[in-house]
Amino acid sequence: MDLATDLAATAPLWLPMLGCLAVLLLETLAPGRSGHLGALVAGAAIALAFARLVATAPSGRLPFGMLADDALGRSLTGLLLLVGAAVVVLAEPLLARLRLAHGEFFALLLASLSGMVLLVQARDLMALFLAVELLSIPLYVLAAFRRLSAPSVESGFKYFLLGAFASGFLVYGIALLFSTCGDTSYAALARFAADPARLGATWHVGVALLLVGLGFKVAAAPFHGWTPDVYEGAPTPVTAFMAAGVKVAAFGGVLRLAHEVLPDGAGLRAGLALLACASMLVGNLGALLQVRLKRLLAWSSIAHAGYLLLGVLVVVAAKSHAGATGAAATPLADSAVQAVVFYLATYALTTLAAFGWILDLGRESAELQDLRALRGLARRRPWLSAALALCFLSFAGVPLTAGFLGKLYVLKAAFALGTELIVPMVVLAATSVIALGYYLRILSTLYMERAPDENAPAPARLGSTGVALLIAAACGGVLLFGVWPEPLLRWLGG
């Protein structure tokens, strides 16, 4: 227990926390003017954290007795820091325009970000619980940050009410797991679970409640009810943070639990398969019916949670594949973990580009979000339309985009287990076709239809260079990693 080494290894966790405090201090020192400064400090804290992350190698130690300093934690931490930086870039111009440039926004953002980082590194149920709360509670406030706008406040309120309900399930599940072995560390739980004879009802109910609690956070069906309303009402940069950041962080937590603690079992498999299939079906069918852009992305994020849950299922199932084929199981589970992480990276990238696009075209108001407002946009805003088209092609999983490879790797990991998971795999294939349907519908709106009034001025843009650069970079990444994924794979693999 050497404090200095632990602190050195966990700089990406505490630097955002420190940044949060710095932003709050700035707010008291320079009240009213801290908005831009806050963005700068937040960006600097995230950049420093990222630099520390890249400069050091994973030690495999257990900092503070309950964190992970391994390849999985580091690659997801890096991803989260990039998402956080992108959200700072997205939020700054919008807040300035709304005259809401308070430093608190960035303090809340950094606190939530440090909760996310904690979640992907947690190796203890108590750390997991507090991480979930540290990421959620600031996010409730961020969703309602426009506190005079009814949709924004409603969004935060709904998110809070269902989030608090979910945290009840989460903490009761943790308490039940604690009651089995009197400890909360993953190592102790895994030791306890190693003997299947000891796993009684308390354990299984505990795991089930834990997954329900986390299922709310990743917006998996049937715990998705809040998603469309909350995504639509929250300010767009916050929605981007929810969609990209929370998904990465919560799946990081689930992935580690599945990899290190949860033993394979028929019940767990059935539960995960059910969640995965329900999410894919509900998400894609729901998206078919949407006429507004943000709601459509919300439903599609539910569907993506389903695809990712299939990856988690593969991680769990690969463990007992060990029994059949001996030592081959660990690499199988590891490759499944890597597939999920790659999927998360491509999903985060595409999501940031898509929400950046919504923000750039000033689509904060509900009328402009109507899909009909996109008719014939390709003629007037060719580059932006191409960017949106690329995002949707990647979401749909069309070849030559990163989204395709994400789906491919998850399917490949599932195929390695033979026909054990054939049902969710078939559902994935079938729902991908549905998804292609509504994504192509949007493309035809963009490219084939004509605007009702050809002479009307093209919709005004937000006019922020940062946002435009971000969209360009994210789209470039989607294309680049779609044809040449090796650099990303190598980085994510540690």
Partner 1 sequence: MAPQSWYLIVSALLFGLGIVGFVTRRNSLVMFMSVELMLNAANLVFVAAARDHVPARGSACALFVIAVAASEVAVGLALVLALFRLKKSVDSDAVRELRA
Partner 2 sequence: MLSERTAFLIFSVIALIGAVNVITRRHPVHAALWLVGTFLGVAGLFLTLGAGLLGAIQVMVYAGAIMVLFLFVILLLNLDAPPDEGLSFARGASLLAAVATLALIALPLARAPELRAAATPESPVADASAGQVANVLFTRYALPFEVVSLLLLIAMVGAIHLARRPRRDETV
The residues binding partner 2 (CB under 8 A) are 17, 20, 24, 64-67, 98-100, 102, 104, 107-108, 111, 114, 118, 124, 126-127, 130-131, 133-134, 137-138, 140-141, 144-149, 156, 200-202, 204-205, 209
**Residue 237: how many other CB atoms lie within 10 Å:** 28
Residue 168, CA distances (Å) to 132, 133, 262, 401 in order: 12, 11, 21, 39
Task: Give the nearest distance from C-beta 67 to partner 2 in angstroms.
Answer: 7
Which two tokens mark 461?
């843009």
Task: Give the nearest distance from C-beta 150 to partner 1 in angstroms.
Answer: 5
CB nearer partner 1, residue 81 or residue 287: 287
Determine contact, residues 228/159, Cβ cutoff 8 Å. Answer: no
Task: Give the nearest distance from C-beta 222 to partner 2 in angstroms.
Answer: 10
Task: Give the nearest distance from C-beta 253 to partner 1 in angstroms.
Answer: 16
CB nearer partner 1, residue 184 or residue 338: 184
Task: Give the nearest distance from C-beta 24 to partner 1 in angstroms.
Answer: 16
Q: How is residue 289 annotated by DSSP? A: T
Q: How is residue 182 annotated by DSSP? A: S
| Contact flag: residue 407 with partner 1 (CB under 8 A) | no
Label residue 252 left, alpha or beta by phi (over 0 means left) and psi (-120 to 50 means alpha): alpha
Interface pick for partner 1 out of 8, 164, 194, 288 (rule CB under 8 A): 164
Percentages helix, strand, coil for the chain (3-state, rounded to 5) are: 80, 0, 20
CB nearer partner 1, residue 106 or residue 404: 106
Task: Give the nearest distance from C-beta 400 to partner 1 in angstroms.
Answer: 33
The residue range among 3-11, 96-104, 163-171, 246-254 that interacts with partner 1, by the rule CB under 8 A, is: 163-171
Q: Which of residues 56-115 bind partner 1 (CB under 8 A)?
A: none
In angstroms, the CA 494 to CA 479 distance is 22
**Residue 450: how many other CB atoms lie within 10 Å:** 9
Phi then psi dihedrals of residue 46, to 5 deg: -65, -40
CB nearer partner 1, residue 290 or residue 300: 290
Interface pick for partner 1 out of 74, 158, 217, 247 (rule CB under 8 A): 158
Q: Which of 214, 436, 242 is nearest to 352 (CA)?
A: 242
The binder of 181, among partner 1, partner 2, none, by C-beta within 5 to 8 A per type, is partner 1
CB nearer partner 2, residue 24 or residue 333: 24
The binder of 131, among partner 1, partner 2, none, by C-beta within 5 to 8 A per type, is partner 2
Task: Give the nearest distance from C-beta 179 to partner 1 in angstroms.
Answer: 3
The neighbouring-strand residues paired with 370 are: 292
Determine contact, residues 282/302, Cβ cutoff 8 Å. Answer: yes
Residue 256, CA distances (Å) to 216, 294, 307, 315, 486 in order: 17, 30, 17, 10, 23
- Residues with Cβ < 8 Å from 390, sequence gap 6 or more? 353, 401, 475, 478, 479
Q: How is residue 149 annotated by DSSP? A: S
Interface pick for partner 1 out of 50, 105, 106, 129 (rule CB under 8 A): 129
Residue 46, CA distances (Å) to 76, 80, 116, 208, 474 in order: 14, 10, 13, 35, 18
| Contact flag: residue 246 with partner 1 (CB under 8 A) | no
Q: How far is CA 328 from the centre of its chain?
A: 30
The residue range among 43-51, 170-178, 317-325, 414-422 that interacts with partner 1, by the rule CB under 8 A, is: 170-178
CB nearer partner 1, residue 60 or residue 182: 182
Determine contact, residues 231/102, Cβ cutoff 8 Å. Answer: no
Show the binding pattern over residues 431-460: x = contacts partner 1 (CB under 8 A), - = does not.
Answer: ------------------------------
- Omega within 30 of 0 (cis) for the link into 196: no
CB nearer partner 1, residue 34 or residue 290: 290
Alpha-carbon dihedral of residues 338, 340, 341, 342, nearest 10 degrees?
Answer: 90
| Contact flag: residue 116 with partner 1 (CB under 8 A) | no
CB nearer partner 1, residue 148 or residue 460: 148
Determine contact, residues 478/342, Cβ cutoff 8 Å. Answer: no
Determine contact, residues 445/372, Cβ cutoff 8 Å. Answer: yes
CB nearer partner 2, residue 135 or residue 303: 135
Task: Give the nearest distance from C-beta 286 to partner 1 in angstroms.
Answer: 9
Interface pick for partner 1 out of 74, 102, 256, 295 (rule CB under 8 A): 295
Given the rule CB under 8 A, which residues bind partner 1?
Answer: 126, 129-130, 133, 137, 140-141, 144, 147-148, 150-151, 153-158, 160-161, 164-165, 167-169, 171-172, 174-176, 178-179, 181-184, 228-229, 232-233, 289-290, 295
